[in-house]
């Protein structure tokens, strides 16, 4: 029987971050949960992994001095997969932070023509990706299959999905620059549904694209706004973080063109058929209020169906001067308890 509703309540002031500069962070770029419901935050400025109990109590931190720019995190098979979009690599650790493997070479990027953040642009810096190439250029996020295979969004400086086996051997890639089926403008987030179809958050095309494991295009959903990441629960519900699109130069949809009003960030919960069951947090006037969102960027579920949403609020809000930095400092990770 199809689930017809999903309700969540904010858990206020969830993260109990210890005092001290060695624990501070300006963003939580990504979040993941292990099978004991411990919560792993991939933080930025400082760039590290921080580990918490489900009640928000601090457990441990690791990775100081390792990451150039923390971006994505995934946990599966007792491994922690951390993407670093500035170093163009995926680093794989055990759950205690011991290094195991790396995909890519730090500082080495594929030649896609990407000009990073040098402008001016008509739509945004991703328009400078002129060709899709192999791994990696601005790698974003990773999803892990039941057999350990890795599916990777290679997005900021590329327009490609890469499929690796559990040992890091590249099996397949697909994509291309554009707005057509199977093409991308910043493939940013990635997840596998309960049939292990690949869900790609095609961020600057304002859509989710669905593919078979072999890369065959299946269908798309367009009732999303700049999707940044996705998670799937045991019932097949699909949870999506959606990024704020301000009315300013360089914040234009590749599919829909310019916007004439502020489009605040939000979280949406979809049934497997695409029906929206819940959507919240999109409040332009009170975006930094608890339960609303500044810049939702990562999402994870624990075994009880509780939801964690991470935000790059400092980078996207404070450093761009879209809002006062002091409004962003306590708005980096929020927990929402599943109540129905």
Strand pairing category for 99-103 and 238-242: unpaired
pLDDT one-digit tens code per residue, 159-208: 999 999 999 999 999 999 999 999 999 999 999 999 999 999 999 999 99
User: How far apart are alpha carbons 7 and 269 in whole angstroms?
Assistant: 10
Residue 190: predicted pLDDT: 98
Residue 89: predicted pLDDT: 98
pTM of the prediction?
Answer: 0.96
Tell me the average pLDDT across 25-51: 97
Length of the chain: 340
Please report, rounded to a whole number, the percentage of residues in the chain having pLDDT higher than 70. 98
Which two structure tokens, joined as six digits, stand for 303?
Answer: 């075994």
Q: Which CATH superfamily is domain 8-338 in?
A: TolB, C-terminal domain (2.120.10.30)
Greater model confidence, 209 or 123: 209
User: How far apart are alpha carbons 145 and 122 in whole angstroms?
Assistant: 38
pLDDT one-digit tens code per residue, 222-260: 999 999 999 999 999 999 999 999 988 778 888 888 888
pLDDT grade for 127, boundaries at 50, 70 and 90: confident
Which two structure tokens, joined as six digits, stand for 88?
Answer: 């163009």
Which position has the token pair 């990407």?
114
What DSSP state is assigned to residue 247?
Answer: S
């Amino acid at each position: 029987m199809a689930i017809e509703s999903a309700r969540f309540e904010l858990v206020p002031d969830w993260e109990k971050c210890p005092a001290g500069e060695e624990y501070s962070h300006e963003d939580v770029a990504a979040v993941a949960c292990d099978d004991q419901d411990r919560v792993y935050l991939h933080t930025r400025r400082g760039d590290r992994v921080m580990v918490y109990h489900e009640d928000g109590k601090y457990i441990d931190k690791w990775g100081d001095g390792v990451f150039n720019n923390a971006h994505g995190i995934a946990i599966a098979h007792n491994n922690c997969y951390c993407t670093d979009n500035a170093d163009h690599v995926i680093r794989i650790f055990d759950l205690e932070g011991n290094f195991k493997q790396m995909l890519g070479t730090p500082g080495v990027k594929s030649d896609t023509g990407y000009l990073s953040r040098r402008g001016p642009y008509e739509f945004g810096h991703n328009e400078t990706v002129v060709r899709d190439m192999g791994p990696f250029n601005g790698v974003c996020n990773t999803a892990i299959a039941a057999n350990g295979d890795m599916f990777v969004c290679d997005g900021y400086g590329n327009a490609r999905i890469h499929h690796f086996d559990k040992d890091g051997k590249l099996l397949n890639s697909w994509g291309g620059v554009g707005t057509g089926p199977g093409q991308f403008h910043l493939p940013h987030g990635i997840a596998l549904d309960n049939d292990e179809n690949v869900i790609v958050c095609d961020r600057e095309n304002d859509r989710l694209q669905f593919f078979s494991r072999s890369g065959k295009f299946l269908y798309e959903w367009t009732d999303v706004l700049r999707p940044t990441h996705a998670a799937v629960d045991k019932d097949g519900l699909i949870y999506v973080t959606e990024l704020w699109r301000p009315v300013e130069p360089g914040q234009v949809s590749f599919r829909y063109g310019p916007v004439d009003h502020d489009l605040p960030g939000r979280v949406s919960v979809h049934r497997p058929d695409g029906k929206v069951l819940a959507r919240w947090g999109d409040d332009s006037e009170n975006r930094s209020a608890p339960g609303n969102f500044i810049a939702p960027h990562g999402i994870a579920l624990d075994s009880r169906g509780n939801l964690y949403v991470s935000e790059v609020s400092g980078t996207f809000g404070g450093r761009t001067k879209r809002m006062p930095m002091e409004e962003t400092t306590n708005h980096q990770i929020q927990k929402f308890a599943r109540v129905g």
